[in-house]
Structure 1
Amino acid sequence: MANVKEKSPPLPGVKQSHTALQFEYNARRFGFILLLLIIAAALSGLFSGGYFSDATKNNAGNSLAVEYQRFGRLLSPVELKITLPGQNPAPLTLRIGGEYMARTQTDNIWPQPDEMHSEGGELVLVYQAAKTHNDFTVWLYTTPEQPGKFLTRVSVNNQPGLSFWQFIYP
């Protein structure tokens, strides 16, 4: 039986460093696993729209529902959908507050409100007559201007509102 050599003879002209080879091996092995984790997180919506990002929240009386994205990216459009199920009070006053006004830029509101103003750090949208007999929905398209986690509050006609958080990646 042939003898097994524990150490192969060095190649002429090549200096081998066991420490460097071990580092390269670990970097490849753990780097590949880290890359797979980042790809899985991105596909599942941890960095923008997706399963973990899309959320719906209702207030205590189910008179207000908000669909939003928990995670967004700086200077990338974000959609906020506010629904009033089965209500048509006239006039309808929708207040959006918290850190919303300071951290985002509102690009578009649909349907357009009859009146719109800022009051006490809140965006106030007033609709004089609701156009439908079913659910009334307002879409806000915004662009986050500051990274980080922030809290937004939404209320309608001074009824109990709801709060939700969003995290904006830089």
Structure 2
Amino acid sequence: MESRTHWLECHGDAIDRGVLGLFGNGPLSWTTASDQSLIVEYQRFGRNQAPLQLRIHLPAGLGKDDSVSFQLDRAFVADVQITRITPKPDAEQPISDGIRFLWSSNVGEGAILVTVSYQPEHIGFLTARISVGDAASVSMRQFVYP
């Protein structure tokens, strides 16, 4: 009887962790990185080639001519397949350390929320540096399961 109780406790702990998000979706799976006015929400864990998202809160007016932009570093862009960005950027520019996404001044007043949908292409730790010009920069780190 004692071994059965132990077995149930062990499996119950694993189920609890899964429900809470330690293996994917759940309340513990999302975290936030921020620096000054840049806020990035992301999932701590994901699965290889399964959909994930970055939620990037961009402050308006940090770019030239009231445009809004952010950069993703080269390592992140090389390790994922970006499937969609909403709202759709007006322009994408390759830069020395990655890619810059730009929106014109008509994206709305105040901060805007940009959602980057992507799929990891490797197992293990996935890191990214998200920056808004020289004004703010944050790093994120995810673990990608097989």
CA distance in 2, matches of 1:84, 1:56: 14
| Greater strand content | 2
Structure 1: give runs of 5+ residues left out of the alignment. Answer: 1-24
Question: 2:107 aligns to what SS in structure 1?
Answer: coil
Deviations 1:59-82 (A, max 9, x none): 0x2x11111111111111111110
- Confirm or deny that 1:141 pairs with 2:117: yes
Give the alignment partner of residue 54 of structure 2, picking from 55, 68, 80.
Answer: 80
- Confirm or deny that 1:132 pairs with 2:111: no
Aligned to 2:19: 43
- Confirm or deny that 1:67 pairs with 2:41: yes
Higher Rg: 1
CA distance in 2, matches of 1:130, 1:83: 16
CA distance in 1, matches of 2:74, 2:127: 6
CA distance in 1, matches of 2:55, 2:131: 13
Question: 2:14 aligns to what SS in structure 1?
Answer: helix
Deviation at 1:51, TM superposition (A): 2.0
Give the alignment partner of residue 116 of structure 1, picking from 62, 74, 92.
Answer: 92
Aligned to 1:58: 34
> Aligned residues: percent identity?
29
Matched AA of 2:46: G
Question: 1:82 aligns to what SS in structure 2?
Answer: strand
Moved more, 94-103 or 65-74: 94-103
CA distance in 2, matches of 1:47, 1:120: 35
- Confirm or deny that 1:33 pairs with 2:9: yes
Higher relative contact order (CA 8 A, sep 6+): 2
Structure 2: give runs of 5+ residues left out of the alignment. Answer: none
- The verdict on how the C-alpha distance between 1:143 and 1:83 changes in structure 2, with shifts beyond 3 A counting, is same
